Amino acid sequence: MFDPGTKRYRGKNVYHIAMTFIVLYLSVIATMMNVSGIYYWKDNMPISIDYFWKAETWLFVFYKMWIVVYRSTDIWDCLSITWYGFTSFGHRNTCTLNRWRERSVRFTTAVTVMYLSSAVFYVAGTLAFRKDMIPVKNHDGSVGNYHQNVMNFYFVASDLTYNAHYYKFFFVETVTVVILSMLFIIFDVLLVTLCFATCCQMQMVSCAFESFGHDKPFRDDPRLFHHRSPIDEYDCSDYTDERKNVFKERVLMYCDELKTMVLDHQAVMKKYENILCLFELAMLLQIFVSSITLIILWFIFIMKVIIFGLKLFQSFSNDDRFAVSDIIVKKMIFLIPSLSYQIFLECYLFGLLHNQKDSVIFALYSSNWTEMCMRFE
């Protein structure tokens, strides 16, 4: 999807074309759900709320996929940070790279399992309770009794038509859920990979800065062990000519190494800024959308509890517009773990990037380059 060398059709990436049609399909459904949510608001508030949060989630997925498709070239450029040799220290400290790679694999696996398991439980729960009926009140006062389904696309057909072709609708709605789950997985796996790779490269630069000037003494000259840095130009006046030449070569070598560290740091920070430019707004919106969705789910659950209590005191009519189906509540519970994990993941990635960025600055001043000759300063 990001590789510029991918097969093209009339100059367009074939994966981008397929993604565009998928997103257009979801956008049409989301628009219909928003309209239906407005239509059912007066007579079926729980169904209306259910439509609204699904529609807004789909529109958010549309925004994510727009980033993936429209900014694919920039994303491909950012993915270069996952290369082992991105910095000059990559092949020297492969243990750190492998450790971060393992962490990235664990998190991306957890993301994939969380989304797919939620989708499976959601679909399986629907199939298990498919015979349950949900009354839907229309503006004209009539009530349609629909079988419980995956996404409850009741707005596309009457109850008789919908129930008669239940399994056809079940298939279409299940495919929709699978597509949504895969789109969430694509974006979040990409985000986790880039964030962990950036943190890994930051740690590589940080380790290089911390050790610079501390791990390269002139071990063959014991006079310099307890003195200032062994590459201080002012301590070589009594050296032989050969020793002076060796010393100057060492100074130039260490100076070039410090320059390389600084250049690596600048390259990593450039990728860091590009990644934030691409994904920062999406990450913030993810926290907002997931939080709002959780609030809505808990609102519907609390509404159900209140209605149940009112029924015990016989103060609630069965045809009230606030009535909530038990199956809808049970299905929504399956979504709580994935939504909670989304919020945790975004906050964790933000914190991880921020901490690694600060550690690089701290490591820069942990080295003793400030005690060296003016060439280093």
Beta-bridge partner residues of 146: 134
pLDDT band for 192, please (50, 70, 90 cuts).
Answer: very high
Those residues with Cβ within 8 angstroms of residue 243's Cβ, 6 or more apart along the chain or in another chain = 236
Long-range CB pairs of 153-158, under 8 A, 24+ apart, other chains included: 153/29, 154/36, 154/47, 155/32, 155/33, 155/35, 155/36, 155/39, 155/51, 156/32
Is 342 inside any structural domain?
yes
- Cα-trace Rg, the chain: 30
What's the number of domains the chain is made of?
Answer: 1
Is 132 inside any structural domain?
yes
Is 223 inside any structural domain?
no
- In this predicted model, what pLDDT tens digit does every residue of 196-234 receive, in sequence order? 999 988 888 887 777 666 555 444 444 333 444 444 444
Return the number of other C-beta atoms located less than 10 Å from residue 288's C-beta: 13
pLDDT over threshold 60, residue 317: no
User: Whole domain around residue 333: which residue ranges?
Assistant: 8-217+242-371
Rounded Cα gap, residues 162 and 244, in angstroms: 90
Region 281-285 average pLDDT: 87
What secondary structure letter does DSSP report for 218? -
pLDDT given at position 227: 42
Rounded Cα gap, residues 120 and 178, in angstroms: 9
- Which of these, 65, 64, 55, 77, lies nearest to 3 by C-alpha position? 77
Is 230 inside any structural domain?
no
Beta-bridge partner residues of 347: none
pLDDT given at position 132: 80
pLDDT band for 195, please (50, 70, 90 cuts).
Answer: very high
Task: Return the minimum-mean-pLDDT range out of 195-199, 254-258, 318-322.
Answer: 318-322
pLDDT more than 70, % of the chain: 74
Q: Are strands 133-137 and 8-9 parallel, antiparallel or unpaired?
A: unpaired
Those residues with Cβ within 8 angstroms of residue 272's Cβ, 6 or more apart along the chain or in another chain = 198, 202, 353, 357
Give the mean pLDDT of the chain. Answer: 77
Which whole-number Å values give the CA distances from 313 to 88, 100, 273, 308, 310, in the listed order? 73, 58, 59, 9, 5
pLDDT given at position 220: 43
pLDDT band for 68, please (50, 70, 90 cuts).
Answer: confident
Is 2 inside any structural domain?
no
Is 222 inside any structural domain?
no
- Which of these, 65, 58, 63, 61, lies nearest to 32 by C-alpha position? 58
Question: What is the three-class DSSP state of 132?
Answer: coil
Cβ pair 329, 305 in contact under 8 A: no
Q: Is 11 left (phi over 0), alpha (psi -120 to 50) or beta?
A: left
User: CA angle, 263 as apex, 259 and 267 as ends, to 5°?
Assistant: 170
- Kindly state the tokens that stand for 345: 């993941």
Residue 279: alpha-carbon gap to chain centroid: 8
Rounded Cα gap, residues 81 and 88, in angstroms: 12
Is 95 inside any structural domain?
yes
Is 208 inside any structural domain?
yes
What secondary structure letter does DSSP report for 317? -
